[in-house]
């Protein structure tokens, strides 16, 4: 079974680093090992032996029906959960524990501080690089799920482009997109809408941002299938573009085309960034771009390599079976809005497979 294989591989790496056990509290990693989305995630993985899942009392039967994990401990509240985790740590004499020091939901600092207080003699180490190192390269199950997510995202984008017109709000556009996403099988989709003239990088839709003439409207869609995402973005101009708007459209098309041509296994990401920066400079738009042109896609809509957030990821080499969203970085031009063109790609042996198509 693929989930058990993942766990055994993880345990082997953990043992090699002298870590006694790992406490998983982030949702995406919980799904990676259990195959199940379950709030709030809590999974104790010893360096050898069976993992232990912690669920609220009353949830255990439903949990066991949906996952391969058999060892389940129930709790009544957050304090009871932490107490039972600490009790197991003491019972087994774990001296070195792994936690994820990430930016994801449920990776709250309050849990880390509580864990330290309850286990003062335990050494805590970050295992984020181990987990993301495994998740970086997708297996066939993951790739198939991402392909299906790509088809859903593409359907939703078709709907999005058909409803953009003067007078509609960002939230109205988002509502139509969410309808298509949920209807086609997404369970936790994400939609961002940016109506100019004031650009925003992360464009959670506003009800009072209304489509008008002579601005850009950018739609970003994250569709999921079996918890795996595909990510795409499109920008349309309302009216007849001129001046900097025309330059921005031409520039983004050229950047997109160049990024697709250069992104291949063995390529260092920073080398592509340097190349497309020459295009931004040619169009006089370098000061409007966000640095970094891609990010990984999988159990999170945005996961390593995240080149716009983590500068170190820009020095990573592209590898076969990575799944990448690009061009992720938009042009942000005050007065007309955001310009972005983004699709999700599976990296093959010598080419890219685009999974979002419109």
Return the CATH number at 117: 3.40.350.10
Listing DSSP states for 104-150 in one string gives STT--HHHHHHHHHH-TTSEEEE-HHHHHHHHTS--HHHHHHHHHHH
Q: What was the pLDDT predicted at 78?
A: 84
Judged against a pLDDT cut of 60, whether residue 106 lies above it is answered with: no
Helix axes 269-282, 244-262, angle to 10 degrees: 160
Of all residues in the chain, the percent with pLDDT exceeding 70 is: 98
Shared domain for 114 and 195, answered yes or no, is: no
Measured between alpha carbons, how far is 148 from 146 in angstroms, rounded to an integer?
Answer: 5
70 class by beta-carbon count within 10 Å (0-12 exposed, 13-18 middle, 19+ buried): exposed
Q: Are 259 and 294 in contact (CB under 8 A)?
A: yes
Quick check: 214 pLDDT over 90?
yes
**Whether residue 86 sits in one domain with residue 24:** yes
Look at residue 30 and tell me whether its pLDDT is greater than 90: yes
SS3 224: strand
**C-alpha–C-alpha distance, residues 175 and 115, integer Å:** 40
Distance CA 45, CA 8 (A): 10
- Domain range for 26 is 2-135
User: How far is residue 50's CA from residue 306's CA, in Å, rounded to a whole number?
Assistant: 32
Question: What is the C-alpha separation between 164 and 179, in angstroms, rounded?
Answer: 15
Residues 203 and 238 in one domain: yes
Q: Looking at the structure, tell me whether residues 149 and 130 fall in a common domain.
A: no
pLDDT given for residue 15 in this prediction? 97
Tell me the mean pLDDT in the region 261-290: 97
Helices 27-34 & 2-16 angle (0-180, nearest 10): 120
Domain boundary among 135, 154, 178: 135
Nearest Cα neighbor of 178 from 219, 211, 228, 226 is 219
Average pLDDT over residues 190-207: 93
- Tell me the two tokens of residue 161: 């482009």
Same domain as 44, residue 120: yes
Helix (H) or strand (E) segment spanning residue 277: helix 269-282
Q: Say if residue 102's pLDDT is above 90.
A: no
Q: How confident is the model at residue 112 (pLDDT cuts 50, 70, 90)?
A: confident
Domain of 204, CATH number, reads 3.90.230.10
Question: What percentage of the chain reaches a pLDDT higher than 90?
Answer: 89
Read off the pLDDT of each residue in 328-333 and give the average, rounded to a whole number: 94
pLDDT (0 to 100) of residue 108: 62
* Mean of pLDDT values over 65-74: 95
pLDDT band at 107 (very low <50, low <70, confident <90, very high): low
What pLDDT does residue 284 have? 97
Query: Are 93 and 72 contained in the same domain?
Result: yes
User: What local confidence, expressed as pLDDT, does residue 117 receive?
Assistant: 87
Q: Which two tokens mark 322?
A: 């990575």
Q: pLDDT tens digits, residue range 217-254?
A: 999 999 999 999 999 999 999 999 999 999 999 999 99
Out of 135, 167, 191, a domain closes at 135
Of 86, 119, 135, the residue at which a domain comes to its end is: 135
The reported pLDDT for the residue numbered 105 is 60
Residues 127 and 37 in one domain: yes
Report d(CA 184, CA 221) in Å as an integer.
14
d(CA 259, CA 293): 8
Query: What is the average pLDDT value for the chain, to the nearest integer?
Result: 94
Place of tokens 């990296």: 347
Tracing tokens 């297996």 back to the chain, one arrives at 139
**Number of structural domains the chain divides into:** 2
């Amino acid at each position: 079974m693929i989930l058990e294989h993942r766990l055994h591989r993880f345990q082997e790496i953990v043992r090699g680093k002298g870590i006694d056990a790992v406490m998983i509290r982030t949702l995406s990693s919980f799904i990676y090992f259990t195959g199940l989305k379950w709030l709030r995630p809590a999974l104790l993985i010893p360096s050898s032996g069976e993992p232990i899942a912690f669920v609220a009392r009353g949830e255990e039967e439903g949990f066991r029906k949906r996952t391969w994990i058999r060892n389940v401990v129930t709790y009544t509240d957050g304090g009871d959960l932490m107490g039972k985790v600490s009790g197991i740590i003491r019972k087994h004499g774990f001296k070195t524990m792994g936690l994820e020091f990430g930016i994801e939901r449920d990776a709250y600092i309050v849990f880390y501080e509580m864990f330290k207080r309850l286990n003062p003699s335990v050494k805590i180490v970050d295992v984020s690089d181990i987990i993301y190192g495994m998740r970086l390269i997708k297996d066939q199950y993951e790739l198939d799920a991402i392909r299906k997510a790509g088809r859903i995202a593409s359907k939703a984008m078709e709907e999005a482009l058909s409803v953009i017109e003067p007078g509609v709000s960002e939230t109205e556009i988002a509502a139509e997109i969410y309808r298509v996403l949920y209807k086609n099988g997404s369970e936790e989709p994400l939609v961002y809408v940016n109506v100019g003239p004031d650009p925003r990088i992360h464009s959670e839709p506003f009800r009072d941002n209304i489509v008008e003439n002579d601005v850009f409207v950018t739609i970003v869609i994250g569709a999921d299938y079996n918890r795996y995402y595909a990510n795409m973005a499109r920008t349309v101009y309302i009216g007849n573009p001129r001046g900097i708007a025309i330059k921005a459209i031409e520039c983004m098309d050229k950047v997109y085309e160049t990024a697709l041509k250069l992104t291949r296994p063995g390529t260092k990401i920073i080398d592509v960034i340097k190349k497309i920066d020459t295009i931004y400079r040619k169009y006089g738009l370098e000061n409007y771009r966000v640095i970094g042109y891609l990010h990984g896609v999988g159990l999170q809509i945005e996961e390593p390599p995240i080149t716009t957030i983590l500068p170190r990821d820009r020095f990573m080499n592209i590898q076969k079976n990575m799944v990448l969203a690009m061009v992720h970085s938009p042009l942000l031009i005050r007065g007309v809005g955001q310009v972005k063109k983004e699709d999700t790609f599976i990296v093959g042996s010598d080419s890219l497979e685009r999974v979002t198509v419109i």
